[in-house]
Amino acid sequence: MSSSSDEERYWRRRRERLAGEKQEEQKPKSRQRRGWVGSKPGKAPNIDRERVRFHYQLMKDYFDPNPTYNARMFCHCFRMRRELFDRIKEELLKNHNEHFKTKVNPVDGLTGFHVEQKMTAALKVLHC
């Protein structure tokens, strides 16, 4: 092969690449998505982890007026007294309401995790 044909091929590919880049730049950026949003077709459905049932169980065990476990067991499980837990909960709701308030999924109407569940999960992470 001659060097002139190599050079011509190089410049043709370069022009094609630059034209492609120019077309990419002209596309509206706001419409482009990075990655997939939502469940992918053909994949297994989400697992129902029964968060509502476990919320009621958590409330019955530790936070009801007449809980299943006494104050000593609460201290053993959460490594703090119930009064401190409640004070932290109130401060979180006051100062970080967007992260700790219970949200409702607009698609299916299911409630998200409650503040006690979120705090319990955060405490488990911090205690490890």
pLDDT in tens, 63-92: 999 999 999 999 999 999 999 999 999 998
Is the pLDDT confidence value at 37 over 60?
A: no
Distance CA 115, CA 11 (A): 62
Q: Give the CA dihedral 42, 43, 44, 49, nearest 10 degrees.
A: -140
Instruction: Say if residues 122 and 100 touch (Cβ distance below 8 Å).
Output: no
Can you tell me the mean pLDDT for 110-123?
A: 88
- 3 pLDDT exceeds 80? no
Position 35 scores a pLDDT of 60
pTM above 0.85, yes or no: no
| Average pLDDT value over all residues in the chain | 82
Gap between the Cα atoms of 128 and 81, Å rounded: 19
